[in-house]
């Protein structure tokens, strides 16, 4: 915080932010990956305003709102397979926390209980939020190392990265390699594992780590074989970001529990949801006196204003071609960023759909990262800010996650700013001498 420099937004429209001093900035990370249709979309604005005339908030503990019921029905309709029973919360961390508790409780009180299933398997470099349970799943030292004394230890899986493969593993064999590692862990621990928790296809906060194609389907099959639940955290990758409404659809996978947030309300209001398949729900279905209900609740879970925004956003997905355009826009953005592939300090340009990570490295041959004290990622993003683009790094991975509604000209503006900023901070002609001086 000692280095914090205030950046205060006064207004926003479409893909653009306006600061209190009048500067216009392209929202290159969708206001932390949640803005889908742009700021001040007339349809969503109208839905929220209309709901405000009726009721702004009621509790969903013992009652509900008509608009929240409508959203629940809509989510059951649009999520994959038989996902159909929904618990609302206020943020992505809370949706994962709820999923973990659901999975734990499921094994304790299903028809044939398995009380030893109390652990979770999480991938390497995982990030699932900042509440205590979700932090426990995490594998990023900055978020969990300090708090280790109050966290539980998950069974830690591999980092299924398509860029940093083991020397003996080819890209064609990568999915099988990581699936084999996960199966080995399940063979040892399946009797005590309640669920595998993972972000499907892309691990966002880990640095846009992109999984080998086919791995998700293999993990689903392993969960079925070893009697373990699969929890898919789609907080970041859901709602069109990867080119389909939900990332697990790419591999025709239906998780037992799916977590969503961020894009659920198109970035308008805090809301998250945890949706489960019937066999999970049925373990909680009993008379009140049996005390099998899900003892978990949020004051603002299912908030009517947020529900109205979410319904309007989903309606836009269904009545426009915004989802169908994602792949073409993603291809266009990657083509515009292609010149960076020749930069000696760009190691990888990766992601799925309109989730792009550009990893800056000190040495291409060894894939050695820059010393973290150099703050390369931060300096590049600071340079982009000077050019009118708001982006944030994940250490030295530059993230580009523009709103899905971005036009080609806006994607041009974003790509140009990123390329120019990288060249400004790590120019081609001096990188070799800089590295030599460091050594």
DSSP string, 33-82: HT-SS-BT-HHHHHHHHHHHTT-S---SSS---HHHHHHHHHHHHHSSTT
93 assigned to a ligand binding site: yes
Q: Are strands 24-27 and 16-19 parallel, antiparallel or unpaired?
A: antiparallel
Determine whether the annotation assigns residue 392 to a binding site: yes
Tokens read off for 317 = 């997905």
Phi, psi of 194 (to 5 degrees): -80, -40
DSSP run (H or E) holding 351: strand 346-352
- Kindly state the helix (H) or strand (E) to which residue 222 belongs, with its residue range: helix 215-226
**335 labeled part of a ligand binding site:** no
Query: What six digits make up the tokens of 274?
Result: 């945890």
Query: Residue 308's closest CA among 31, 34, 33, 54?
Result: 54
Annotated ligand binding at 299? The verdict is yes
Q: Under 8 Å CB-to-CB from 439, ≥6 apart: which residues? A: none
The answer to whether the annotation marks 291 as part of a ligand binding site is no
CA distance 274 to 295: 14
3-state secondary structure of 207: coil
3-class secondary-structure state, position 203: strand
Q: Which residues define the annotated binding site for pyridoxal 5'-phosphate?
A: 92-93, 233, 298-299
Q: Which residues define the annotated binding site?
A: 92-93, 127, 233, 262, 297-299, 392
Q: Which residues define the annotated binding site for substrate?
A: 127, 262, 297, 392
């Amino acid at each position: 915080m000692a280095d914090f420099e205030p950046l205060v937004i006064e207004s926003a429209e479409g893909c653009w932010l306006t600061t209190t001093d009048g500067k216009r900035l392209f929202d290159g990370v969708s206001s932390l990956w949640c803005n889908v249709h742009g700021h001040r979309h007339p349809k969503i604005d109208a839905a929220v305003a209309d709901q405000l005339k009726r009721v702004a908030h009621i509790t969903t503990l013992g009652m509900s709102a008509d608009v929240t019921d409508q959203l629940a029905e809509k989510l059951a309709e649009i999520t994959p397979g038989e996902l159909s029973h929904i618990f609302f919360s206020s943020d992505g961390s809370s949706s994962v926390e709820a999923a973990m508790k659901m999975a734990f409780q499921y094994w304790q009180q299903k028809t044939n209980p398995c009380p030893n299933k109390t652990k979770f398997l999480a991938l390497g470099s995982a990030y699932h939020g900042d509440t205590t349970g979700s932090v426990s799943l995490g594998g990023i030292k900055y978020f969990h190392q300090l708090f280790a004394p109050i966290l539980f230890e998950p069974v830690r899986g591999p980092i299924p990265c398509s860029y940093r493969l083991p020397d003996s593993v080819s890209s064609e064999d990568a999915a099988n390699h990581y699936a084999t590692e996960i199966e080995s862990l399940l063979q040892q621990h399946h009797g005590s594992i309640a669920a595998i928790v993972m972000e499907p296809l892309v691990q966002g906060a880990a640095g846009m780590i992109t999984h080998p194609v086919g791995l998700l389907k293999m993990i689903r099959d392993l969960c079925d074989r070893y009697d373990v639940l699969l929890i898919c955290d789609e907080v970041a990758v859901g709602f069109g970001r990867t080119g389909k409404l939900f990332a697990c659809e790419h591999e025709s996978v239906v998780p037992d529990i799916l977590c969503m947030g961020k894009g659920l309300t198109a970035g308008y209001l805090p809301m998250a949801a945890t949706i489960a398949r019937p066999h999970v729900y049925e373990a909680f279905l009993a008379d009140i006196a049996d005390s099998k209900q899900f003892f978990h609740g949020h004051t603002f879970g299912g908030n009517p204003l947020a529900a109205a925004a979410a319904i309007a956003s989903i309606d836009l997905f269904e009545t426009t071609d915004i989802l169908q355009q994602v792949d073409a826009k993603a291809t266009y953005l990657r083509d515009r960023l292609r010149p960076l592939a020749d930069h000696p300090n760009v190691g990888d340009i990766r992601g799925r759909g309109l989730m792009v990570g550009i990893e800056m490295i000190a040495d291409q041959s060894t894939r050695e990262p820059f010393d973290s004290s150099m703050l390369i990622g931060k300096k590049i993003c600071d340079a982009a800010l000077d050019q009118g683009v708001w982006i944030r790094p994940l250490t030295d991975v530059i993230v580009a996650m523009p709103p899905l509604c971005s036009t080609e000209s806006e994607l041009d503006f974003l790509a140009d700013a990123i390329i120019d900023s990288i060249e400004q901070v790590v120019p081609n002609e001096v990188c070799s001498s800089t590295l030599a001086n460091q050594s």
